[in-house]
Amino acid sequence: MANHRKPVPKSQKEISNNQVEPYIDPQTGETRGNPNNPQDYRQFTPNSQKGVEDGRSEKMSFKDDTVKPFTINIQDVDEAILYYFDNVIKPTVIQNGERIAVPLVYGSPERFKSVQKDGFYRDKKGKIMSPLIMFKRDSLEKNRSITTKLDSNNPHLYTAWQKSYNPKNAYSNFEVLNNRIPTKQFIANVVPDYVTLTYSFIVQTYYIEQLNKVVEAINYASDSYWGDPERFKFKAKIDTFNTITELNQGQDRVVRSNFTLKVHGYIIPDVIQKDLNSVKKYNDKSKVIIGLETFISGEDFIEGTTNPRPLFIDSPTDPLPTTQIPQIMLTYLNTNVQRVGSVTNTTTASFPYGWLSSPTGLPATSIENFTLFCNGVLIEKTAVVSFTVLSGVTTLVIDPAELGYTFQAGDEIIAIGKFSS
């Protein structure tokens, strides 16, 4: 009986990759493959993915995550303009003794062209709609003077922020006892594409006085950041307002003004190319463990040694002998006594104390075992001419040229080191 295998449907990623045609160099005729496949595209370094296709070992899933991949679209810029007009500028006019809000509408190409041709905008019943503000997006220009992700097929620059809570790494007293800090989780995004978007606006009212109020309100809001404070804000700039035009159409009278708005925005698109090649989420290190071990002799480090013998000090289960440090040596190493000296002259100070004798196996006690201060300022060893002990009295001689000053009566000279009691 034949072994029937259950068919596995292709993912959207596989379908999209299969539809991408390989790039062929027009000069050499060389085929470079699919730019979305690091193993097929020769500009990528295979080692950068550690031999794993698409670097999946370093990627984390957004499944069941309340935070989704971060994107900023062109529509977000359009909505920022709508939000700012409706909630911040709030253009109004006085008509028939009442204050009414001036609506803002996004003009489709057909609608905007009709307004430009006729000079006014009518509703479905043919009545001129005034007051009214209509706008549309004209162009998008990339700004490369700020920053760039360097290569969309292999981004190098990211922005990251920390999530407020990570449910898989709860912090408890057990972690405190084990010196383990909570794991922090970060959301990473490639740096955005900085762009300049240009919008055309048409303002139409019944009277010039009404138009002046609307233009003044919009002009005051120029050169500021437009948008929802809870979402995104973009720098907006208006340079000029065109000459006011008066139009008469039968019994209707319309006053119109045009201006151009430039918005300096940024875009992070939701595209499969970014999903394949970008880092989206990662964790930091919660604990770093460094093991300590010593070796029997230097022979264990010789190339070709196959069985190094680690020796753990004071390990009761270690079959090898351990080395105990003598108590006299521990006492010497742990001794650091502070003594106050007296100024003898401008270059000399004395301490009425002797030094500890170093145990056998350690270097003789010298100035290297002491730290010297004058009025709380460290005296560098290079400024010391001599630091000697004789008959239980320690004498310090300095070089004023190297130290930069001399001792004076009343100076506090302190030495910390291996003084005898």
As beta bridge partners, residue 258 has 202
pTM here is 0.49
Sorted by where each begins, the domain ranges of the chain are: 28-58, 74-267, 291-324, 327-417
Helix (H) or strand (E) holding 403: helix 400-403
Compute the distance between CA of residue 355 and CA of residue 389 in angstroms, rounded to an integer.
Answer: 7
Residue-by-residue DSSP string for 159-207 = EEEE-S--TTS---HHHHHTT-PPPPEEEEEEPPEEEEEEEEEEEEESS
Confidence of residue 323 (pLDDT cuts 50, 70, 90): low
Residues 6+ apart with CB under 8 A from 160: 186, 187, 188, 189
Question: Among residues 406, 390, 395, which one has the least CA distance to residue 350?
Answer: 395
Position 242 confidence tier, pLDDT thresholds 50, 70, 90:
confident
SS3 55: helix
Contacts of 342 (CB under 8 A, 6+ apart): 349, 350, 413
pLDDT for 300-320, tens place per residue?
A: 545 444 454 444 444 445 454
Tell me which H or E stretch contains 109. Answer: helix 109-118
| Alpha-carbon span 183 to 189, nearest angstrom | 20
pLDDT at 409: 87
Q: Do residues 190 and 278 make contact, with C-beta atoms less than 8 angstroms apart?
A: yes
Considering 107-116, 122-131, 332-341, the range whose residues carry the highest mean pLDDT is 332-341
Residue 73 near residue 206 (C-beta atoms within 8 A): no
Rg (CA), the chain: 39
Average pLDDT for 362-383: 90
Structure tokens at 302: 């010789």
pLDDT tens for each residue of 257-284: 889 999 999 888 877 666 656 666 777 7
- Answer yes or no: are the C-beta atoms of 135 and 107 closer than 8 Å: yes
The answer to whether residues 70 and 268 touch, using CB atoms and an 8 Å cutoff, is: yes
Bond before 400 cis per omega within 30 degrees: no
The architecture in CATH of the region 74-267 reads 2-Layer Sandwich (3.30)
